[in-house]
Structures are given as C-alpha cells and as structure tokens.
Amino acid sequence: MPLGANSYGKSEIRLVKVGRDRGLRDLTVDISLEGDFEAVHTRGDNTGLVATDTMRNVVYALAAEKPLDSLPAFGADLVEHFLGHERVSGATARLREHPWEGLPGGEHAFQRGAGGTRLHEVSGDEQGVRHAGGVEDLLVLRTAGSAFAGFERDRFTTLPETGDRILATAVAARWDYREDPDEADWARVRDTLLAAFADHHSPSVQFTLHRMGEAVLEAQPAIERIHLTLPNRHHLPYDVSRFGIEDRGDVFHATTEPFGLIDATVERGR
C-alpha cells in the first residue's frame, strides 16, 4: 500500500526564558517536519530520521544561544535549522506565548496577563519561509450596542428578537503575512481587533466578525488575509419577577453550552 502525505514532530514543548532585564517569556512550541521518510514507515529504516527528542533539545538550545526578543525570528531560526537536515523538505514551528504581567512594586514578580494568547507560525520549504500570526482566548464583551432581529422564523423558532443584548465572545484569529513581520506587528493587529469590536452597532456576530477582519486589513497592509472564529457566549436575561422582585433586565445567566459558533475568512480582493 502506498504511503500518502505524512509528517511528524514534537508537540507541547514548554519553554520559559528569563531575559537579561529579568523579563519573562513563556512559550509552548510545536515542531513538525515533512520529507523523505517513506522507508521509515514502510521498511522500518530510520536512516536520516530526526528524533523528536532532538527537536525538543534544539528548541531549548536555540533559546539559550540567542536573545528571545522576537517570536518571528525565533521561529524562523528553528525552521532554518531543521531544513538543514538532508531528509527534511518542509518544517513548521508553531509558537504560543502565554502572557505575564509584572506586579507593581515587585521587580521580579508576575501575574498571568490578559489580552489573549499570542500565536505565531513559521513554515519553510524549498519555496521559502512563510509567517502567520494569531491570537486565541481573546475575551471581549459588550453590555450594549448589539442586536439580533429579522432572522428566519419557523415553527421551531423560539428565540425572541432583541434590539439590545449582551455580546460576549472569545476571539480566535489567524492571519497570513505578505512579508516577514517584526515583533511589534502582533500587538498592532490585536489592538485593531479590540478597537473594531467596540466601534460600531452590531446587528449580528457575523457583522462584527467581518468588521473586525476588515479593520485589520485596512490598518495592516502586511497582512493578506485573516480568519476569525467567534463563539457566541450567550448571556440570557434571568427573570427575577417570579421571586417578587422587580425585574429591571440587569441580571443575566451566563451560559457555556450550547453556543453559536461563527467563523469566516476576510481577505483582500484580487
């Protein structure tokens, strides 16, 4: 039986580096390789196979050799290293950065930061090196300025229309760079997403998703396309009048499931 497309690698490599300024970078790294490894699968011949344990060690070694002040540069260094192996034709490094913030009055003390988990992916082959960025778990909420009405109704529809509701979501986004990014590009994209979430009246999550993607492409010419996923974290009005209390519409039940899931790609026109 012929072997189809295949890859292998090391996942969930946990790396923390303390910089010379005692700053902190906390990463989870995944490495994936493609190449001439058919004999490994079909004949049990491991000649030229880069062990996944070696991949883990390379991540720590390169982090020690060089300043970890740029995720795009660190990812590119990893990819270029593995492309140097004879049997490797393609390499991908996926980096997730977990945010920490310094504590007031504690020069070397930190708390877990907010603002989402940073993602960066570098892939390389004979055609060159490509970069993609992203963010996940970017929690945002609006208490007003969001509606949902005019949707299709049939005998199974029980959802009432509303002109004002809470809109809450955990944004996940991934974008492709047209050119090599610098270290500051990610924060600019994240800040653009946050501003666009808040700058309009929202008739639907779909509309808000497109507005956010459009804003990124307008503000960041180095980005070719962006894919956004917005789960609708429902906040349902809770009727307290049954308890003999005046219901002013300011108490909500925050639900976790089931939830609406909206995703789409916004890209530049050809």
Q: Which two tokens stand for residue 171?
A: 């944004």
Helix (H, G, I), strand (E, B) or coil at 267: strand
How far lies 267's CA from each of 39, 178, 212, in Å? Answer: 40, 12, 12
Compute CA 77 distance to the chain's CA centroid, rounded to the nearest angstrom.
21
On whether the CB atoms of residues 124 and 130 are closer than 8 A, the answer is yes
**Residue 152's CB: how many other CB atoms inside 10 A?**
5
Q: Which two tokens stand for residue 227?
A: 């894919």
80-84-90 Cα angle (round to 5): 65
Q: Which two tokens stand for residue 176?
A: 């492709």
Task: List active site positions.
Answer: 10, 52, 234
> Quick check: bond before 258 cis, omega within 30?
yes
